[in-house]
């Protein structure tokens, strides 16, 4: 990792840019990269500057991303970066609404998709990410920030413990299997 022309990009959702940079020979060449969606279809990326990231590295990384037709938001290193903190707060609050009986998974996602223009509702998104992964990320955000808004809703923990982890298990907040006729927990 000592090449002068190299930039080290990290996409870790758990380890900070500063931590990863501390493991390298040249911490000024390390930046974080957070894609907001799937790379082929995204228009915007978060470029994360660590404490030691040089201005040259930051500008070179930004130029590389702009050549790929990506809009770049430059942020300082923080737990979860910006998009994960926003998205997982929304997912967790949606699970709390469900847990309190305020709405069904369909009601909650319809509100966000049809009412707010989201491409995918927060509960479908959690199912796609994996409820086990969602739980891990929320735990990590809580441990790193100490903010109670990241404490995972007990319903999420119960679902993961029961094996309902979303699309990969065919059951999460929604049913993804034609073989399962009735959803075991919610009336969707």
Q: Which residues of 57-85 are buried (b: 16+ CB within 10 A; e: fewer)?
A: bbeebbeebeeeebebeebebbbbbebbb
Does an H or E element contain 6, and which? none
Instruction: Please check the confidence at residue 86 and state whether its pLDDT lies above 70.
Output: yes
Order of strands, sheet of 30-35, starting from the edge strand that comes earlier in the sequence: 8-10, 30-35, 44-49, 71-76
Query: Residue 177: which pLDDT band, with cuts at 50, 70 and 90?
Result: confident
What's the mean pLDDT in 24-33?
Answer: 95
Query: Residue 81: which pLDDT band, with cuts at 50, 70 and 90?
Result: confident
Query: Which domains does the chain show, CATH number per domain?
Result: 8-76 (3.40.50.720), 81-169 (1.10.1040.10)
Hunting for tokens 């501390």 — which residue is that?
22
| Greater pLDDT, 123 or 11 | 123
pLDDT digits (tens, 9 = 90+) for 49-74: 999 999 999 999 999 999 999 999 99
């Amino acid at each position: 990792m000592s090449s002068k022309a190299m930039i080290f990009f990290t996409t870790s959702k758990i380890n900070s840019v500063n931590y990863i940079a501390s493991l390298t020979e040249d911490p000024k060449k390390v930046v974080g990269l957070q894609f907001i969606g799937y790379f082929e279809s995204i228009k915007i990326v978060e470029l994360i500057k660590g404490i030691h990231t040089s201005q040259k590295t930051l500008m070179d990384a930004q130029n590389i991303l702009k050549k790929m037709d990506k809009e770049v938001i430059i942020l300082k290193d923080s737990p979860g970066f910006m998009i994960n903190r926003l998205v997982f707060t929304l997912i967790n609050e949606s699970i709390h609404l469900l847990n309190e009986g305020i709405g069904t998974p369909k009601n909650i996602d319809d509100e966000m998709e049809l009412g707010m223009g989201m491409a995918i509702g927060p509960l479908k998104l959690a199912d796609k990410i994996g409820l086990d992964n969602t739980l891990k990320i929320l735990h990590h955000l809580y441990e790193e920030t100490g903010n109670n808004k990241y404490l995972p809703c007990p319903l999420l923990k119960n679902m993961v413990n029961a094996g309902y982890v979303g699309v990969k298990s065919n059951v999460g907040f929604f049913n993804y299997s034609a073989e399962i006729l009735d959803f075991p927990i919610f009336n969707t």
